[in-house]
A and B are shown apart, each in its own frame.
Chain A
Amino acid sequence: MLNRLRLEPSRILLNLAVIFIIALWTFPTAGLLISSLRDKNDIAASGWWTALSSADRKQVGRMKGSADQVEKDGKFVISGNLFEGGDGTSGKVSAFGTKVQTPSANAAGSTVTLDAGQTLTVNVDGSYILTSPTKFADERGGRIFFVSSQPPRFTLDNYQSVLFSEGIGRSFINSLTVTIPATIIPILIAAFAAYALAWMKLPFRGLLIAIIVGLLVVPLQMSLIPLLKLYNAAGYFMGVPSKTYLGIWLAHTGFGLPFAIYLLRSYIAGLPKDLIESAQIDGANDFKIFRRIVLPLCFPALASFAIFQFLWVWNDLLVAIVFLGSGPDQLVLTGKLNALLGSRGGNWEILTASAFVTIIVPLTVFFSLQRYFVRGLLAGSVKGG
């Protein structure tokens, strides 16, 4: 403990270096999260890093017209507050002016003399007093341009609008519909296959394993044209649409299988030999051994793969846009987000909130099950060495 607390210059430097790298790595995500909670005008007006301090905003307000004037001490006076009747914001006026080019010509609280002996005072709280020696004639009041400093404010409005009116909520459910079976089905199929390849007597075992390892790196893109043709033919032949949930489950299962079998086989092959053999001597058949002994024991490996497959399917865009339709009942979150990037490219309040909705699920899974995830990564890639 003492050793840790010793403040050597090299340790301070080391800590600072790591803090710097982490800041670099988390800044982009922090920007997204903070922006998604900001008002849409604020997002467009200033950088997200200013969100925590009060922001200067250029605004315009209109004074009351001639109908509201009162006569006082031989002068005609119009008074009111610039924040009244506006967009409901409040804040502190720091400067004001009467021309659009110079909204910060005069400090708040000062009095300026305008044409024809009129004087104008604008206070910090937004109240103004306009006096004139002659009677006001204009029914419409003049405009005041001012700079106000706004306290930081955060809102969930963006989330409300993307979830319920932009269709993100619907896509969220579509994503779940794709992801849950596409995670469970390959686990089952791969676990059985991995057990067969690890412990059962069968011809061509070495060859089968070599093929599966080879398929690990086959680029997904290769499969798309032939499979699309196959799906169209099958759909036509059976008189059903070619883009269905069943179709994408099987596609994700097929693409995930090499890694699943590879990962699970090496784990199952590592189980103690005595365990399996003694069960065989007791007369249990392989189905029973698998169900009662192997499946419970390889839970950590199953969990690792499940997390992988879940993240991979949830985050996938390519397979989804090829094998599923683009209607609201089939468009998944990544596809929806990609569509929004095209149609709402400048609407950052929608993009940031939508993006955060799509990444919240994988992030939750990741942080709660990180242990298994890392274990799977290590088992899946560190070999040879």
Chain B
Amino acid sequence: MAEQIIYAFFTVIIGVGGCFGYFYGSNWLLDRIFPANASNDSSAVRNLKMQSMIRPWLFLGPALILLSVYLLFPVVQTFWLSFHDRAGDKFVGLANYVWAFNDDQFRLSIFNNILWLAVVPALCTLMGLVIAVLTDRLWWGNLAKSLIFMPLAISFVGASVIWKFVYDYRGEGQDQIGIINAIVTYFGGSPQVWIALPFWNNFFLMAILVWIQTGFATVILAAALRGIPEDTLEAATIDGAGPFKIFFRIMVPQIYGTILVVWTTITVLVLKIFDIVLTMTNSQWDTSVLANLMFDWMFRGGGDFGRGAAIAIVIMVAVLPIMIWNIRQANKEQSGH
């Protein structure tokens, strides 16, 4: 154990030190090669010009290289792989896509993904909005929000253990130690293996993500609610609007943009959902989603990179509209400066 700690300590030092070394070293080198305090003025000016041409790329270099290797190249490569056979050697055209859309497991995964997309973002945003409004005027509202927010810090695997315990099943007649089955049996029902009930088990898995992400929606929407001018709300109250009318007619339209952002952020997350399904059911009992199906094709049973890549491209295509919207939004912001 002590050896491991020492080893870990030194690898950390080397990794972080190397990074510092690059930035200091490269900039030092630049100042040496093109010294700004050169002997005559014309070469000093030329050197400064060279410096200001090269330095941005020294700053950007590592980031651009890493982004290219870890994100851009894989996108291109996956696209290319999806038209090739299992080892990635032979061009097979659209065969992987044709296979996918005729495959029952793939259709099931698409169906489940759509189910997740329909339920989780909507439920998180709605719950987040309700909690944000309820806690807004409460003196202990911040504490309440912290507690709702807390699951966001917990890993999906940790959350899965927590929820497996919640859904735990014991045979009928035994004392139930999972709280859901305990409640069900208390009211005279019979205990169920919740995560093994096809179709409905999807919702029990979704509950976990809703539990995690509602805090995110709450915090963002609460901040947006704070931004609504006090006068507007007061004017509405004086005009005799009830709390529901204020909520639907004034609050929701005012923070509509933020609601949209929260919704899309959670949508992107849901499209990539993987860990919860892996740890809760491992895709059994008809709970498979696209990311897990892709993972299975890539790394299990010998693997088929072509089919795995085709599934990855399907996920990518689903994300594409959000990506374009994001870029346009960012461009608008920039030109607004």
Contact = CB atoms under 8 A, between A and B. Distances in A.
Given A210-B331, A318-B275, A381-B265, A365 B153 contact: yes
Determine which residue in B23, B75, B158 has the highest number of CB atoms from chain A within 10 A of its CB, and name it: B158
Interface in B146-162: 146-158, 160-162
B4 A170 contact: yes
A281 interface: no
Among B8, B71, B134, B333, residue most surrounded by chain A Cβ atoms (within 10 Å): B71
Given A334-B155, A359-B155, A18 B333 contact: no
A214 B325 CA distance: 9
Interface residues of A, number: 116
A221 B291 contact: yes
A257 interface: yes
B148 A261 contact: no
A286 interface: yes
B224 A196 contact: no
Interface string A243-257: 001100111011101
Task: Give the interface SS of chain B, mostly helix, strand, loop or mixed.
Answer: helix
Nearest to A261: B63
Contacts of A283: 36
B298 interface: yes
B158 A358 contact: yes
Interface in A195-222: 195-197, 200-202, 206, 208-222
B223 A378 contact: yes
B257 A384 contact: yes
B49 to A, nearest CB: 11
B192 interface: no
Interface string A13-40: 0110110011001111101100100000
A180 B224 CA distance: 33
> Most chain-B Cβ atoms within 10 A of its Cβ — which of A35, A213, A358?
A213
Q: Pick from A26, A226, A314, A318 the residue with the most CB of B within 10 Å.
A: A226
A287 B55 contact: yes
A363 interface: yes
A31 B261 contact: no
Contact of B56 (A18, A201, A251): A201
Given A18-B144, A254-B69, A188 B20 contact: yes
B319 A31 contact: no
B71 A223 contact: yes
A100 B118 CA distance: 53
Contact of A363 (B150, B261, B278): B150
Q: Choose among B137, B162, B319 the residue with the greatest number of A CB atoms under 10 Å from its CB.
A: B162
Contacts of B214: 25
B132 to A, nearest CB: 11
A28 B16 contact: no
A14 B131 CA distance: 11
Contacts of B161: 32, 337, 341, 351-352, 354-355
Contacts of A261: 63
Interface stretch (B89-97, B196-204, B245-253, B304-312): B304-312
Interface stretch (A41-49, A78-86, A137-145): A41-49
Given A250-B66, A337-B158, A355-B161, A221 B223 contact: no
Nearest to A10: B243
Contact of B60 (A174, A196, A311, A314): A196
B153 A362 contact: yes
Per DSSP, chain A at the interface is helix
B138 A358 contact: no
A381 B319 contact: no
Contacts of B151: 25, 29
A311 B57 CA distance: 30
Given A192-B60, A381-B220, A29 B67 contact: no
Contacts of B1: 169-170, 173
A191 to B, nearest CB: 9
B153 A225 contact: no
Determine the interface band of chain B, counting residues with CB < 8 A from chain A: 35 or more
A47 B261 contact: no
B135 interface: yes
A314 B155 contact: yes
A329 B27 CA distance: 37
Contacts of A365: 153
B163 interface: yes
Nearest to A43: B177
B16 A355 contact: no
Nearest to B48: A285
A225 B329 contact: no
Given A45-B175, A215-B71, A383 B333 contact: yes
B38 interface: no
A46 B177 contact: yes
Nearest to A340: B161
Interface of A: 4, 14-15, 17-18, 21-22, 25-29, 31-32, 35, 43-49, 169-170, 173-174, 176-177, 180-181, 184-185, 188-190, 192-193, 195-197, 200-202, 206, 208-227, 229-230, 245-246, 249-251, 253-255, 257-258, 261, 269, 283, 285-287, 290, 311, 314-318, 322, 329, 334, 337-338, 341, 348, 351-352, 354-355, 358-359, 362-363, 365-367, 370, 374, 377-378, 381-385
23 contacts: A43-B177, A47-B178, A169-B1, A185-B19, A202-B60, A210-B330, A216-B326, A217-B268, A219-B291, A221-B274, A225-B308, A269-B337, A285-B55, A286-B52, A286-B59, A317-B278, A329-B4, A338-B279, A348-B177, A363-B150, A367-B150, A377-B219, A377-B220
Given A18-B138, A219-B291, A382-B223, 8 more contacts: A48-B177, A49-B182, A180-B16, A208-B64, A215-B67, A222-B315, A257-B67, A334-B157
Interface of B: 1, 4-5, 8, 11-12, 15-16, 19-20, 23, 27, 31, 36, 51-52, 55-57, 59-60, 62-64, 66-67, 69-75, 77-78, 81, 88, 131, 134-135, 137-139, 141, 144, 146-158, 160-166, 168, 175-179, 182, 211, 214, 216, 219-220, 223-224, 255, 257-258, 260-262, 265, 268, 271-272, 274-275, 278-279, 291, 294-295, 298-299, 305, 308-309, 312-313, 315-316, 319, 322-323, 326-327, 329-334, 337
